[in-house]
Copies of this chain bind each other. A is one copy, B any other.
Amino acid sequence: MTPGKHGKHTFSPQEFNTRMDNCGLSLKMKDCLNRVVAFHSSPAPGVLIGSFMVDLALELLGAVPGEKLYGVCETPKCAPDALQVIANITTGNNRLRIIPIGKFAMTVNAATTNPTAEAVRVYIDLEKLKRYPVIDTWYANSPAFDKPTMAIQLQEEIFRAGRDILSFERVRVGVSGKRQWKSLTCPCCGDTIPDYLFEQDRCGGCGSMKYYEKIS
């Protein structure tokens, strides 16, 4: 982990580890948090809470190390990185879906050949959050949360709370299979793309999804 900026305070891996020790975190949880923070490149509160969420979800599922799992994260903010690092549910391996509902919640299930899967949904429980006023203030994006002076306090409260701000429910989610495709050439740029991504007569890069300009 390289030192970096987090908000207005400089992040010190050593202080971060001491803080985890002081809050009584297990070796396993410390290892998870260190790996997630290094990947995320900052100890953002959301990745810390997200790590406790993934840890709980894996335990509820009885998942074994290396097991192929699938997940949905209900926000693109921070939490997906915990799923990616701890459970290898990644954007690139097509096991992670982001459904941007804006909730700090995630659903995890084991691989299945059925069209639906039983999954566990872990979420921040607003009732339980009331017992942790700093997290509560931060989570509500309240002006009362002052990042420069309260970031450390927030981190400690997150470590002390652990799973104590989380609840879960058993749910059923849909499962989608691999899409079949053929390679087609875009007549505008000459690149090949999967047929199902064609927009009328061209690729999305020459159509509605153009996002860059060449610098001549």
Contacts and interface: CB of A to CB of B under 8 A. Distances in A.
Interface string A37-62: 00111101011001000000000000
A209 B92 contact: no
Interface in A167-216: 169-174, 181-183, 190-194, 197, 203-205, 209, 211-215
Given A84-B90, A85-B39, A140 B211 contact: no
Most buried by B among A46, A84, A93, A205: A93
A47 B88 CA distance: 14
Interface string A60-84: 0000011010001010111111101
A93 B42 contact: yes
A102 B215 contact: no
A212 B117 CA distance: 10
Interface stretch (A16-24, A118-126, A147-155): A118-126
Contact of A81 (B93, B98, B183, B214): B93
Given A102-B204, A213-B171, A39 B90 contact: yes
A114 interface: no
Contacts of A169: 214-215
18 contacts: A41-B93, A47-B92, A50-B92, A74-B205, A77-B94, A81-B90, A81-B91, A84-B92, A91-B91, A91-B98, A101-B209, A102-B193, A102-B194, A102-B197, A103-B191, A103-B205, A170-B215, A171-B213
Interface of A: 2, 4, 39-42, 44, 46-47, 50, 65-66, 68, 72, 74, 76-82, 84-85, 88, 90-94, 96-103, 107, 118-119, 121, 123, 126, 139-142, 169-174, 181-183, 190-194, 197, 203-205, 209, 211-215
